[in-house]
């Protein structure tokens, strides 16, 4: 049986933790950040967890991620 191909677009957007949780970057980091409040700027620095319902669909595109 041949190897399965990973969807690279999905693989670049999420990281899988040791406990199989999917982490993603916060959105809206590209530009116009000078007008953001300090709290909004600091919250964009941290990764956030993908919702469990979305994680099931993302993992279908990452055959060797789970």
Residue 18 lies in a domain: yes
What residues contact 64, with CB distance under 8 A and at least 6 apart? 4, 6
Place of tokens 């199989």: 20
For the full predicted model, state whether its pTM sits above 0.85: no
Phi and psi of 48, rounded to 5°? Answer: -125, 155
Residue 2 pLDDT class (50, 70, 90 cuts): very high
CB neighbourhood size of 22 (10 A): 23
- Which domain CATH number covers 15? 4.10.410.60
Output the pLDDT for position 65.
80
- Indicate the length of the chain as a whole number: 66
- Edge-to-edge strand order for the sheet containing 48-49? 15-16, 22-24, 48-49
Render pLDDT for 4-62 as a digit per residue (tens, 0 to 9).
999 999 999 999 999 989 999 998 888 999 999 999 999 999 999 999 999 999 999 99
Output the pLDDT for position 1.
85
Q: How many separate domains does the chain show?
A: 1
Domain coverage including residue 28: 8-60
């Amino acid at each position: 049986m041949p190897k399965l191909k990973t969807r690279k677009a999905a693989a670049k957007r999420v990281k899988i933790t040791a406990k199989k949780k999917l982490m993603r970057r916060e959105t809206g980091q590209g530009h116009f950040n000078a007008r953001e409040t300090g709290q909004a700027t600091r919250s964009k620095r941290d990764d956030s967890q993908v919702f469990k319902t979305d994680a099931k669909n993302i993992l279908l595109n990452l055959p060797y991620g789970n």
